[in-house]
């Protein structure tokens, strides 16, 4: 499998944590986007030019949450989520909180976004 990643991406870090918890590092070849993130070369591989992105044979997916769910289903042990439904809900909340609230604000403060997304205006 190929995982396209960049060192500064917290979304890619989420997937790297899943990979480490599951102990499946040897299943992956980590690569930076060929030609850079927003290049025609990378768009030819990953049409949305997103990080992280996973290629597993004929499957190409992006979005850290989708990749994490796929890895959970493909490599079920050890499970990522606790057995208790309330604990599972808390775990899912923290993941979504990161994606929707924490990471975008972090990106603005570090200059990766020039302005707040429309949802915050």
**List of residues 6+ apart from 61 with CB closer than 8 A:** 53, 54, 67, 70
Looking at the structure, tell me whether residues 45 and 14 fall in a common domain.
yes
Does an H or E element contain 95, and which?
helix 85-97
Looking at the structure, tell me whether residues 10 and 39 fall in a common domain.
yes
Looking at the structure, tell me whether residues 51 and 93 fall in a common domain.
no
Residue 103 has a pLDDT of 72
Over residues 21-44, mean pLDDT: 93
Provide the number of structural domains found in the chain: 2
If 0-12 CB within 10 Å is exposed, 13-18 middle and 19+ buried, where does residue 59 land? exposed
Task: Provide the residue range defining the domain that includes 67.
Answer: 1-80
Between residues 48 and 70, the one the model is more confident about: 70
Looking at the structure, tell me whether residues 13 and 52 fall in a common domain.
yes
Q: Give the separation between CA 89 and CA 112, rounded to whole angstroms.
A: 30
Q: Give the separation between CA 12 and CA 30, rounded to whole angstroms.
A: 10
Looking at the structure, tell me whether residues 51 and 100 fall in a common domain.
no
pLDDT at position 38 over 90: no
Residue 121 has a pLDDT of 43
pLDDT at position 120 over 80: no
Looking at the structure, tell me whether residues 45 and 103 fall in a common domain.
no
Over residues 2-27, mean pLDDT: 92
Mean pLDDT, the chain, rounded, equals 86
**Residue 37 in domain:** yes
Structure tokens at 103: 């990471």
Looking at the structure, tell me whether residues 24 and 8 fall in a common domain.
yes
| pTM of full prediction above 0.85 | no
Residue 119 has a pLDDT of 47
Each residue's pLDDT tens digit, 80-112: 999 999 999 998 888 888 777 777 666 555 555
Dihedral sign of CA atoms 103, 25, 54, 81 in order: negative
**Residue 121 in domain:** no
Q: Could you tell me the CATH number of the domain that includes residue 59?
A: 3.40.30.10
Residue 107 has a pLDDT of 59
**Residue 54 in domain:** yes
């Amino acid at each position: 499998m190929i995982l396209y990643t960049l060192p500064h991406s917290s979304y890619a870090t989420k997937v790297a944590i899943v990979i480490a918890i599951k102990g499946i590092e040897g299943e992956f070849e980590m690569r930076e986007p060929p030609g850079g993130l927003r290049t025609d070369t990378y768009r030819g591989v990953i049409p949305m030019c997103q990080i992280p992105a996973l290629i597993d044979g004929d499957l190409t997916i992006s979005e850290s949450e989708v990749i994490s769910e796929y890895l959970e289903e493909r490599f079920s042990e050890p499970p990522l989520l606790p057995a208790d439904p309330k604990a599972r809900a808390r775990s899912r909340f923290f993941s979504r909180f990161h994606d929707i609230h924490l990471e975008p604000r972090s990106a603005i403060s570090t200059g990766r976004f020039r302005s707040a997304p429309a949802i915050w205006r």
